[in-house]
Structure 1
Amino acid sequence: MNMPEYVFTPDLPVTLPVAGSPQRFPVGRVFCVGRNYPWPDTQGQSRQPPVFFMKPASTVIEAVGEMAYPSVTEEFVHEIELVVAIGEGGAHIPESQALAYVWGYAAGLDLTRRDVQRMAKRNGLAWEGAKVFDGAAPMTAIVPVAQAGHPQGELWLSVNGEERQRDSLDSQIWSVSEVISRISQSVPLRAGDLIMTGSPAGVDLLLPGDVVTAGIDGLGELEMRVGPRP
């Protein structure tokens, strides 16, 4: 069998470590859910259909060391999220079967240029400019479901030792099963896809030199320092 000839050497696939294993998890696409926890400005509102957007796999990095401060923003903010790692592809997945498609879970940060996002919303534009930049999705090692089951408990984030975000995973407006099912109705999921399931209230600014610590019960913790402005 002849191997294809590429115009240039393609990049190696993006991968994440697997907790307690030398294996790596190859990352495909990254789906993200917007506003999946109650925030002060949504209290008392009826449940609205979830909003989905995407980040390319190239934004995913291991959540260690320095967090690069992105260009073209004055409002760089943090969002701690439960990350779902899909291990089997499928389309039109029923909610009752959705968890069977989950290979594992991780804690992740959906880093955002909030001022860019606000302007995009105001003008009815897409969010990619706010959500997509190098290092925009730091993540911990993936913990296999076979090792730890499906997570319960809380997710939290602190900056310089001061807690900013904390909520229960049970507070999600749309459950993991519902999110998987809804995405698969419009786009067949593939093994390697990641789903970032939304962030609780408390999103706030990050400044150069800030130390971010965050975690999810049963999945692990991360610590990163914000780098200098470009």
Structure 2
Amino acid sequence: MTQTVFAAPEWPTVDVKGEAARFPVRRIFCVGRNYAAHAAEMGVEVDREAPFYFTKSPLTILPTGQEYPYPPGTDNFHYEMEFVVAIGKPAFRVGVDQAMDAVYGYATGLDMTRRDLQLAARAKQRPWDLGKDVEGSSVISAITPAADFAVAEQPIRLSVDGEVKQDATLADLVWSVPELVADLSKFYHLEPGDLIYTGTPAGVGAVLPGAVIRGTIEGLDPVELTIGAPE
């Protein structure tokens, strides 16, 4: 047994609907600008030639239903509602017609963002890590197995304190699930445990301590988060 100089962190896992076993998270890929209306509200255009990605640490995973403190270093903390794809089989250089074979299931998620830090980095052409790779920022519901959910035109919505802020459909995705899986597999050996947060619709905005966020996608479990007081 390998000894470590301090206790290794526990690998994050996610509930699977209808299963006792849990889904271990390996990596998190996030798709930027995958809803045209959101790209427009951020003052940029969708790259129609290829998807755009950033990554987050798997240790940012936070199960739905938690309260999490308002993060340090920001005064402009934004919600982003996301459709999440869970990978269950290896995929490397697969075609669009083969990509769905690698999908284990789907979930609802939140990509919580320190928007002020993200935009400051973007203006200086620097990485977005401080804005995006935030502790507790990858909120996720239980995963619904792919056999129980067919991606179509399901509504994707987010509300803050009961007021709807984001309202679109999965048909509004610029890059579809098979296109994203196939494209990522050109650059990575996708493996079981990888998650793809597929982008957010228009309507993103800031929240303050005490806010209750709820996101829904028809046919999947909802995702919920309460913003706690700053530490």
TM-score range, shorter chain: over 0.9
User: What's the CA shift string for 1:47-74, capped at 9, x where partnerless?
Assistant: 2422100001000010112132110001
2:36 aligned with 1:38, yes or no?
yes
- Residue pairs, 1:69-108, within 5 angstroms: 69-108=70-109
Structure 2 partner of 1:24: 22
Q: Displacement, 1:44?
A: 9.0
| Structure 1 residues 160 and 102: CA distance shift in structure 2, 3 A | same
Structure 1 Cα separation of the partners of residues 112 and 162 of structure 2: 19
Structure 2 Cα separation of the partners of residues 218 and 198 of structure 1: 18
Q: Displacement, 1:43?
A: 9.8
**1:157–1:213 Cα contact (<8 Å) kept:** yes
Structure 1 Cα separation of the partners of residues 166 and 48 of structure 2: 22
5+ residue gaps, structure 2, are none
- Residue pairs, 1:64-213, within 5 angstroms: 64-150=65-151, 152-213=153-214
Equivalent residue letter for 2:138: A
In the alignment of these two chains, the number of paired residues is 228
Structure 1 Cα separation of the partners of residues 46 and 177 of structure 2: 21
Equivalent residue letter for 1:20: G
Q: Secondary structure at the match of 2:222?
A: strand
**2:34–2:46 Cα contact (<8 Å) kept:** no
Structure 2 Cα separation of the partners of residues 203 and 48 of structure 1: 25
Query: How high is the TM-score relative to the length of structure 2?
Result: 0.94
User: What's the CA shift string for 1:179-228, capped at 9, x where partnerless?
Assistant: 11111101110110000000000000011111111111101212221111
Q: Displacement, 1:160?
A: 1.0
2:6 aligned with 1:8, yes or no?
yes
Q: Displacement, 1:6?
A: 2.1
User: What's the CA shift string for 1:88-144, capped at 9, x where partnerless?
Assistant: 112101011111100000000000000000000000100011011210101000001
Q: Secondary structure at the match of 2:201?
A: coil
Structure 1 Cα separation of the partners of residues 84 and 19 of structure 2: 19
| Structure 1 residues 17 and 168: CA distance shift in structure 2, 3 A | same
Structure 1 stretches of 4+ moved >6 Å: 42-46
Structure 2 Cα separation of the partners of residues 187 and 145 of structure 1: 22
Structure 1 partner of 2:216: 215
Q: Secondary structure at the match of 1:96?
A: helix
5+ residue gaps, structure 1, are none
Q: Secondary structure at the match of 1:106?
A: strand
Q: Displacement, 1:46?
A: 7.1
CA RMSD of aligned residues (A): 1.7
**1:92–1:185 Cα contact (<8 Å) kept:** yes
